[in-house]
Structure 1
Amino acid sequence: MHFDKLNIGETVDSAATYYVSEQEIIEFAKQWDPQPFHISKKAAQKHQIGKLFASSVHTIAIATKLAHSNSYFEIDAVAGLGIDQLKMLKPVFAGETLSLKIELTDKRLSASNPGKGVITKKLYISNQHGELKMTFLNVSLVNVNNEI
């Protein structure tokens, strides 16, 4: 796929899914987001959500992994430019299997970097029941003269 052939509005589903285990939620949180409701079932039961759930940072990491499971939006990336409009809609619980849909929402040539473009993709993370858990925009600087 070449930059010029990317069409705004195109969507693709991840080629893989991701099972989230209780052990992984706890281990990830212990290292990266050690809040009691992410690392202890007992503490989570006292929290308003009522049970152990994944950190939002963990969910973003899973979405990133799933995004790379499909070669459609594989790009000749130069750099990530940002994550925008992050919406944490529902918590991710142990035992859920997550999937991802990606939508190309914008593309443009870079005004300051000749031969480069900026693409914006919206990522939709859902569980096995189709419940939307998180959405965000991922903005990347890419080479436009190479196959992507």
Structure 2
Amino acid sequence: MRYFEDFQPGDASEHGPYVVSREEIIAFAKQFDPQPFHLSDEGGREGIFGGLIASGWHTASICHRLIVEGLLGKAASLGSPGLDELRWLKPVRPGDALSVRTEVVSTTPSRSKQDRGAIKFRFEVRNQHGEVVMTEIANALFSRRPAAP
């Protein structure tokens, strides 16, 4: 289990890959982002992207799944108070294999609650060609290590 004290600015890790399927792009879009370029090949060809692309929110969800599987699921995470920045830089297409690079930007112990601290992360989502498709600056809360008995 990793606690707040186990994270230092500059720490980095890689998670993934996750291959995005055509079927899941369409299923996510139908439920959460029903724009033509997310719903069908034809709708994608009619737009500026030249084909079907994943919703940015789908890409962000994949990013967070990889982070939970590779980092947060093994840490004393208390959730997140929000994001400072989210950018979609390139479209994600069916068959893309996405990986996430995480970097600790800063760590700040809580002044009012001694049992926790805040960590600012930078996430970069890359496709199989190494192209950055999404970046995010996220804030997370973590428990501090319990005192030894």
Asked if TM exceeds 0.5, the reply is: yes
Specify whether residues 26 and 54 from structure 1 end up closer, same or farther in structure 2 by C-alpha distance, changes over 3 A only: same
Maintained 8 Å contact 2:105/2:120 = yes
Alpha-carbon distance in structure 2 between the residues aligned to 1:146 and 1:135: 33
**Where does the alignment leave 5 or more consecutive residues of structure 2 unmatched?**
none
How many percent of aligned residue pairs carry the same amino acid?
Answer: 34
Deviation sequence 1:80-139 (CA, Å, 0-9, x none): 111221111101011111111100111111123231100111111000110100010121
**Where does the alignment leave 5 or more consecutive residues of structure 1 unmatched?**
none
| Matching of residues 101-140 of structure 1 within 5 Å | 101-140=101-140
Q: How large is the Cα RMSD of the aligned pairs?
A: 1.8
Alpha-carbon distance in structure 2 between the residues aligned to 1:62 and 1:101: 13
Alpha-carbon distance in structure 2 between the residues aligned to 1:44 and 1:100: 25
TM-score (norm 1): 0.91
TM-score (norm 2): 0.90
Specify whether residues 26 and 146 from structure 1 end up closer, same or farther in structure 2 by C-alpha distance, changes over 3 A only: farther
Alpha-carbon distance in structure 2 between the residues aligned to 1:4 and 1:114: 12
Indicate whether 1:57 and 2:57 are aligned.
yes
Maintained 8 Å contact 1:12/1:72 = no
Q: Could you tell which deviates more after superposition, 23-32 or 106-115?
A: 106-115
1:9 maps to 10
1:21 maps to 21
